[in-house]
A and B are shown apart, each in its own frame.
Chain A
Amino acid sequence: MRLALDLFTVLAVSAGAFFFLAGTVGLLRFPDVLTRLHALTKADNLGLGLIVLGLLPRAEGPLAALKLLAVWLFALLAAATVAQLVARVALRRNGRSPGGSAAG
């Protein structure tokens, strides 16, 4: 049982790390800001979810597990809203940096 759970952790965490890698590749390689944004938010939150999943069996009790899930939930919420808002800014700005001072 212990071995199986450990194996599960290893697999899930590895898969999570892979998605982070994918997100990073997207961030570096995708041609424009919106596609980068898209790739990023999807991939890394999936990655975080898998890592949380992998760590669940190691949590001490249901409360700790709940806390782990809450971490993922908050991160998802942040990513979704931030992606939406930043995309708006990016669309409007047409690729310029905010505030003239940013150029200084």
Chain B
Amino acid sequence: MNGAWLLLDLVLVPMILAAALCAVGARAQFTGIVFYIVYGLLLALAWVRLGAENVALAEAAIGAGLTGVLLLGALARLPAAAPAEPGADGSPGTALRLAAAILCAALALGLGAAVLALPEPAPGLADVAAAHLPATGLGNPVTAVLLVWRGYDTLLEVVVLLLALLGVWSLTPDPLWGGVPGPRHRTRPEGVLVFLGRVLPPAGLLVGAHVFWAGADRPGGAFQAGTILAAVWLLAIMAGLTDAPAVRGLALRLVLVGGPAVFLGVGLAGLATAGAFLGYPPDFVKPLVVLVEAALTLSIAVTLGLLVAGAPERPPR
């Protein structure tokens, strides 16, 4: 058994490193980004290999999906860069590069040594988590960590997401405030893009719902589902089938704050019902978690979609 897995590792790890090196070192930025997209895919494979399907789902949707699209979109909209000459555009000369390379190699080696020096047997919380899992009624320990035991992290994290969106919106030129993010996409009617935009969103809705539902007991959950929904929404926008919403809309804003607000509300209600902030009354853990996740999924989907769409560029309709 180990032989084949080792072979796989010995192929996969060098590929990851090669993709990363090329993403950093490729001469053209476009090439670097394509390598980064491939790198995200390879990482998703690594997560599957390590038995971390929850993470693999997130990486597949975010690392290989949204981040790549974000970077590609940005590159297409940046002004053409002048031909790169070392030093001309603020990039360091050879000596500095060498110094940086030595520093980074030393850091990587030190980090590697620290990894090798980690104690054996390795400490961890897997057993503690397994012992507490039945009390939650959930089957997926990662969901239990994210929404029950370390729900506070997750609450702050969804606030981070919303805050990033406010940050992106804060870059709107003043006359366009309240307007619509991104350009209006044009497509050939009955063309391939339109076809894709028609077929994939319903499929994505289905897959997203599946990942969301599975999340309570098997790998999946609000973040993965939200990302999938965001991706197919963006696809429908790029296919010109629908337009991004104007950011001044009250309904949109309520959807955006809805997830975090429900989470915070349930958390504060926990003060009364469970005697602790972000606590759940013993018999209602699973239904409350599913409620919070449902609200979060919607908010995350819309927030992520708008994050990638960027700052408003068109005046409100």
Contacts and interface: CB of A to CB of B under 8 A. Distances in A.
Direct contact of A and B (CB under 8 A): yes
Interface of A: 74, 77, 81, 84-85, 97-104
Interface string B261-302: 000000000000000000000000000000000000000000
Which of A74, A77, A100, A102 has the most B CB atoms < 10 Å from its CB?
Answer: A102
25 contacts: A74-B203, A77-B196, A77-B199, A81-B192, A81-B195, A84-B192, A85-B192, A85-B193, A97-B30, A98-B30, A99-B78, A99-B80, A101-B29, A101-B30, A101-B75, A101-B80, A101-B81, A102-B28, A102-B31, A103-B81, A104-B28, A104-B29, A104-B80, A104-B82, A104-B83
Contacts of A74: 203
Contacts of A100: 80-81
Nearest to A67: B210
A85 B80 CA distance: 23
Interface in B136-167: none
A99 B30 contact: yes
Contacts of A97: 28, 30
A100 B76 CA distance: 9
Nearest to B206: A70
A81 B29 contact: no
Contacts of B51: none
Given A81-B196, A85-B192, A97-B30, A103 B203 contact: no
Nearest to A88: B192
Contacts of A104: 28-29, 80-84
Interface string B78-107: 111111100000000000000000000000
A77 B199 CA distance: 9
Contacts, number: 45
A51 to B, nearest CB: 15
Interface in B17-75: 28-31, 75
B29 A102 contact: yes
A101 B193 contact: no
A62 to B, nearest CB: 15
Nearest to B89: A104
Contacts of A84: 192
A99 B76 contact: yes
Contacts of A85: 192-193
Contacts of B30: 97-99, 101-102
Contacts of A102: 28-31, 75
B95 to A, nearest CB: 23
Contacts of A103: 28, 80-81, 83
A77 B75 CA distance: 26
A103 B30 CA distance: 8
Nearest to A102: B30
A59 to B, nearest CB: 16
Contacts of B79: 101
Contacts of B78: 99, 101
Nearest to B31: A102
A102 B193 CA distance: 24
A98 B79 CA distance: 12
Contacts of B76: 98-99
Nearest to A74: B203
Interface string B191-230: 0110110011001000000000000000000000000000
Among all A-B residue pairs, the 6 with the closest Cβ atoms: A100-B80, A104-B81, A102-B30, A84-B192, A101-B80, A81-B196
Given A84-B192, A104-B82, A99 B203 contact: no
A77 B197 CA distance: 11
Nearest to B196: A81
A8 to B, nearest CB: 20
Contacts of A81: 192-193, 195-196
Nearest to B30: A102
Given A81-B196, A85-B192, A102-B28, 15 more contacts: A74-B203, A77-B196, A81-B195, A97-B28, A99-B30, A99-B76, A100-B81, A101-B78, A102-B30, A102-B31, A103-B28, A103-B83, A104-B28, A104-B29, A104-B84
